[in-house]
């Protein structure tokens, strides 16, 4: 093998290994990213879902004492935004600033805990894009050629013939549309800068061997795509057609393709082109399935071509639909998150989206489903448990009772062991689900434990025990301790999903801040005869109903 080829091969292997090592060995924090959002229209529920899934991963990592950063932002260049601004007669930069601010405000309202918000119109981003482009040129991956084919402006995507199908517009005229998104495509033929994507197919296949895409069905889809030849990709548009974008550094008559520009945002937030991008190797991108091809083929290919490690993980989610059709601004079937927050509260909406949505399959949004789920799980089950163990009738002293190991009656032994066994397993189970990108299953597991605690409380009936003999009273105190301790655990685990409601519970239980993480926090210590610092402590102030039941006529 010639030395140059050997060197390229070695460098490639090192890059893949760096990605495989992931954040286990990383020096810096893990970088989690949301897609950056097009500013051609206001945020809708689907956008909020993408950001929320990333937020819950970020908050859960922090809860476990892991070091992560979360970036989000807005995708502001390209023909689609250029057209949206001109339709409303606005200057593109004013238009972008206004809509970007709407996204930022929506994410603040939804308590998305981003640590960086990037806009592709920022100077730091333009610098990163220009540096990256030059690197691709230096490495020999860019050449000038003629692109001929279909272009979908709505998706800002170049499509091959078999990615398009014939359809009809509203007036019955024949048109061609993208087979995936249903958006109209147009024939395009122009001299562009091309990227040698075809050369990177073997390396992409190697990268896929590290199984970086979750859930698994999406990994299979990408493998299938790669079974076919990969044509080179057009990475510029003539400036007279697309003027709203970053010019090609060596040729200002061309604008850099908006997807190349947008994907580089992940490097911008990592500090590129500074060589100390400590958080780059362990990057995890969260994205909807409609933009899988861009993240699972183009992005790793661009990175590898520029001599950088491909992403460590891609976490892919499915879509929210309305009557079975993908929610999308262009189809005018979007659900407004602001309206939902008014009806269900921020945490109500967060809980519903995370608990009912599933990364693996599309979910239909109906107000009936939201109400049913929130009434059952937040108002009745969780709110009921809080009410039970803190009500003055049951806990007149308003404090954490003492647990006496020898007061467990033989008849209650097996039920108690079953409950403790399940509840003590819960933090590990929740962490496992979160690591597998299954927040919905994590919340399901918590809900089912909440129900077990309610059933235990009901069957042991501490309100009756308090009227019995001394030994019954002692056992009644134990039941109360176990219920309060279970609730402390559930609220701790629920913080990433419903930070406000979890805080209400932890405040009511009088839990100090240092006991609100999972790292170094012990639960049920008194049942093992160990010291539990809560025993004898007073509860916090009363908080009223945790989550009032939603009425049917709100729809």
Tell me how far apart the alpha carbons of residues 469 and 487 are, in angstroms, rounded to a whole number: 27
The CA–CA distances, whole Å, from 47 to 53, 192, 282, 440, 496 equal 10, 32, 24, 18, 18
User: DSSP letter string over 272-332?
Assistant: TTSS--TTTTT-EEEEEGGGHHIIIIIHHHHHHHTT-PPPSEEEEE--EEETTEE--GGGT
Which of 326, 371, 388, 508 binds ligand MSP (CB under 6 A)? It is: 326
| By the rule CB under 6 A, 290 interacts with ligand MSP | yes
Binding mask 42-81 for ligand MSP (x = CB under 6 A): ----xx-xx------------------------x------
Select the residue whose beta carbon is closest to ligand MSP and give its number: 288
Residue 107: partners with Cβ closer than 8 Å, 6 or more residues away: 51, 72, 114, 117
Q: Which residue has the tokens 């051609």?
A: 40
331 vs 455 by CB, closer to ligand MSP: 331
C-alpha span between 476 and 479 (Å, rounded): 5
Among the residue ranges 179-187, 261-269, 448-456, 458-466, the one whose residues contact ligand MSP (CB under 6 A): 261-269
Q: Report in angstroms how near the CB of residue 495 gets to ligand MSP at its nearest.
A: 24
Supply 102's token pair: 């709407």
**Nearest-approach distance from CB 262 to ligand MSP, in angstroms:** 4
Among 84, 118, 185, 291, contact with ligand MSP (rule: CB under 6 A): 291
Choice between 259 and 344, CB closer to ligand MSP: 259
- Decide if residue 320 touches ligand MSP (CB under 6 A): yes
C-beta closer to ligand MSP: residue 121 or 328: 328
Nearest to 186 by CA among 222, 207, 155, 229: 155
Binding segment (CB under 6 A) for ligand MSP, from list 123-131, 288-296, 394-402, 457-465 = 288-296
The verdict on 262 binding ligand MSP (CB under 6 A) reads yes
One residue of 15, 19, 30, 35 binding ligand MSP per CB under 6 A: 35
341 makes contact with ligand MSP (CB under 6 A): no
Out of 23, 38, 158, 298, point to the residue binding ligand MSP (CB under 6 A).
38
Is residue 384 part of the contact set for ligand MSP (CB under 6 A)? no
Instruction: Give 54 or 374: the residue with its C-beta nearer to ligand MSP.
Output: 54
Helix or strand run (H / E) with residue 165: strand 164-168
- Please tell me the distance from the alpha carbon of residue 530 to that of residue 524, in angstroms, as a whole number: 9
User: Nearer Cβ to ligand MSP, position 290 or 485?
Assistant: 290
Return d(Cα 282, Cα 286) in angstroms, integer. 13
Closest CB to ligand MSP among 99 and 506? 99
Q: Which C-beta is closer to ligand MSP: that of 57 or that of 328? A: 328
- Provide CB contacts within 8 A for 312, sequence distance 6+: 19, 22, 23, 212, 281, 282, 283, 284
Choose, by CB under 6 A, the member of 56, 287, 445, 509 that binds ligand MSP.
287
Q: CA-to-CA distance for 375 and 195, rounded, in angstroms?
A: 53
Measured CA distances, 57 to 29, 67, 304, 468 (Å)? 14, 12, 26, 47
Q: Which of 26, 129, 185, 263 binds ligand MSP (CB under 6 A)?
A: 263
Stretch of 324-332, 344-352, 379-387, 478-486 contacting ligand MSP, by CB under 6 A: 324-332
Residue pair 460/452 in contact (Cβ under 8 Å)? The answer is no
Give least dist CB 238 to ligand MSP, A: 22
Asked if 319 is part of the footprint of ligand MSP (rule: CB under 6 A), the reply reads yes
- What whole-number distance in Å separates Cα of residue 152 and Cα of residue 176? 10
Q: By the criterion CB under 6 A, which residues form the site for ligand MSP? A: 35-38, 46-47, 49-50, 75, 262-263, 265, 287-288, 290-291, 319-320, 326-328
């Amino acid at each position: 093998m010639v030395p140059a080829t050997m060197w390229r091969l070695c460098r490639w292997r090192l890059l893949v290994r760096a990605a495989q090592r992931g954040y286990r060995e990383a020096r810096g924090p893990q970088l989690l990213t949301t897609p950056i959002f097009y500013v051609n229209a206001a945020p809708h529920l689907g956008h909020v879902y993408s950001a929320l899934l990333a937020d819950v991963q970020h908050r859960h990592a922090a809860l476990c004492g892991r070091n992560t950063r979360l970036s989000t932002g807005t995708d502001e260049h390209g023909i689609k935004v250029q057209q949206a601004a001109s339709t409303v007669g606005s200057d593109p930069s004013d238009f972008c600033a206004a809509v970007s601010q709407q996204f930022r405000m929506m994410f603040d309202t939804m308590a998305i805990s981003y640590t960086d918000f990037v806009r592709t119109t920022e100077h730091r981003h333009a610098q990163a894009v220009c540096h990256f482009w030059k690197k691709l040129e230096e490495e020999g991956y860019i050449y000038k050629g003629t692109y001929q084919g279909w272009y979908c402006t709505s998706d800002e995507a170049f499509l091959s013939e078999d990615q398009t199908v014939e359809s009809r517009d509203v007036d019955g005229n024949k048109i061609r549309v993208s087979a995936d998104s249903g958006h109209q495509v147009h024939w395009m033929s122009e001299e562009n800068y091309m990227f040698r994507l075809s050369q990177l197919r073997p390396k992409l296949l190697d990268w896929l061997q590290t199984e970086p895409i979750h859930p698994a069905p999406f990994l299979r889809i990408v493998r299938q795509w790669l079974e076919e030849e990969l044509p080179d990709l057009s990475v510029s548009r003539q400036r007279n057609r697309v003027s709203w974008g970053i010019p090609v550094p060596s040729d200002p008559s061309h604008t850099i393709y908006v997807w190349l520009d947008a994907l580089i945002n992940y490097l911008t937030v990592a500090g590129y082109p500074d060589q100390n991008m400590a958080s780059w190797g362990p990057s995890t991108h969260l994205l909807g399935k409609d933009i899988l091809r861009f993240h699972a083929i183009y992005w790793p290919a661009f990175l590898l071509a520029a001599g950088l490690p491909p992403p460590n993980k891609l976490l892919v989610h499915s879509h929210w639909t309305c009557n079975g059709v993908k929610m999308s601004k262009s189809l005018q079937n979007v659900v407004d998150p602001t309206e939902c927050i008014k009806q269900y509260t921020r945490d109500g909406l967060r809980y519903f989206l995370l608990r009912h949505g599933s990364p693996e399959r599309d979910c239909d949004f109906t107000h009936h489903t939201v109400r049913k789920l929130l009434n059952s799980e937040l108002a009745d089950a969780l709110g009921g448990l809080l009410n039970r163990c803190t009500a003055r009738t049951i806990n007149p002293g308003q404090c954490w009772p003492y647990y006496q190991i020898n007061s467990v009656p033989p008849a209650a032994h097996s039920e108690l062991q079953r409950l403790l066994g399940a509840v003590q397993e819960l933090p590990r189970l929740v962490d496992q689900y979160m690591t597998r990108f299954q927040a919905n299953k994590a919340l399901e597991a918590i809900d089912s434990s909440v129900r077990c605690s309610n059933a235990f409380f009901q069957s042991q009936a501490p309100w009756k025990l308090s009227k019995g003999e001394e030994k019954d009273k002692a056992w009644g105190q134990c039941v109360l301790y176990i219920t309060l301790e279970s609730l402390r655990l559930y609220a701790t685990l629920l913080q990433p999903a419903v930070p406000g409601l979890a805080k209400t519970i932890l405040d009511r239980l009088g839990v100090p801040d240092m006991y609100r993480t999972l790292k170094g926090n012990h639960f049920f210590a008194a049942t093992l005869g160990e010291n539990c610092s809560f025993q004898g402590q007073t509860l916090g102030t009363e908080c009223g109903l945790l989550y009032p039941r939603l009425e049917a006529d709100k729809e």
